[in-house]
Amino acid sequence: MVGSAHELERETESMPQTTDTYYKRDFWSSENLKYTQPHFRMEKAARILNSISRNKQCDLLDVGCGPATLKQLLRNNINYHGIDIAIHNPAPNLIQADFLENPIKFYDKNFDFVIAQGVFEYVGNFQSQKFSEIAKVLKEDGTLVVTYVNFNHRNKNVYWPYNNIQLFEDFQKSLEQFFRIDQFFPSSHRWHHDEPKGRVMKAIQMHINGNIPFISRSFAVEYFFICSLRTLEIGEPNIVSAV
């Protein structure tokens, strides 16, 4: 766990924040094939979405959908749409687009749910802009589910293509400019900075949706953030429209 303010400041100074390296379709067309089979975080994301939807008919946008594997795990009441820079199997509910060079949107459609898992580690200097664009496609009573790696982990593992690396507190503050964080919790707790792989450990951690004092900060692998649109205070500028 990060201790004193001095320790936090020292860690922040030594941590790279963003770079100008952005990977394009030639990279992602092979990279996203690693996710043709559901992995732990995706399975947990689907469990969260299925629970929140409560069997009601709803529309979902999967930002950075890759091979659209998440769709396999969702109940039939969730109408799935995806956007990605590299779509391998074109379909009417999928759009191939570089959403760093273009706005995040699916024609003129608005959504009950937007999910972005394993996305914001790769958006570089576009983080605030992409939060703003997601806010514009989310219905007023909609829900955003977003994940972000815990770079406060005791054994921090930084995947080499990441270009947007920051501490939990900084990501949280940026997210709160556009959304109200209704809940956040670790994807899992691990001594090593990787998701659980064993059947028993996966089963246990799949159902832990809470923060453990003094433990989560240092052992959370990633975080889930469950968010709704911010309600502006009187006289507060609408930065979603301004961005």
108-159 pLDDT tens trace: 999 999 999 999 999 999 999 999 999 999 999 999 999 999 999 999 889 9
Region 202-230 average pLDDT: 95
Residue 82 is inside which H or E element, if any? Answer: strand 78-84
Q: Would you state the pLDDT for residue 3?
A: 34
Query: Coil, strand, or helix at residue 42?
Result: helix
Is a pLDDT exceeding 80 seen at residue 235?
no
Ordered structural domains, the chain, with CATH: 5-230+237-242 (3.40.50.150)
Do 141 and 53 contact (CB within 8 A), yes or no?
A: no
Contact 83/28 with Cβ under 8 angstroms?
no
Q: What are the C-alpha distances in Å from 207 to residues 40, 147, 199, 218?
A: 12, 17, 13, 19
Q: What is the pLDDT of residue 4?
A: 32
Q: pTM of the prediction? A: 0.89
6-35 tens-digit pLDDT: 333 334 345 656 677 999 999 999 999 999
Residues with Cβ within 8 Å of residue 128, at least 6 apart in sequence? 174, 177, 178, 243
Predicted pLDDT at 195: 93
Q: The tokens of 112 are what?
A: 């009950």
Instruction: Give the tens place of pLDDT for each residue, 67-105.
Output: 999 999 999 999 999 999 999 999 999 999 999 999 999
Q: How far apart are CA 183 and CA 165, in angstroms?
A: 22
Burial of 4 (0-12, 13-18, 19+ CB in 10 A): exposed
Residue 2 has pLDDT above 90, yes or no: no
C-alpha span between 92 and 1 (Å, rounded): 46
- Assess contact for 220 and 149: CB atoms under 8 A: no
Q: What is the pLDDT of residue 16?
A: 53
Q: Which two tokens stand for residue 64?
A: 């950075």
How many angstroms separate the CA atoms of 28 and 18, rounded?
Answer: 19
**Predicted local confidence at residue 5, as pLDDT:** 33
Residue 157, pLDDT score: 86
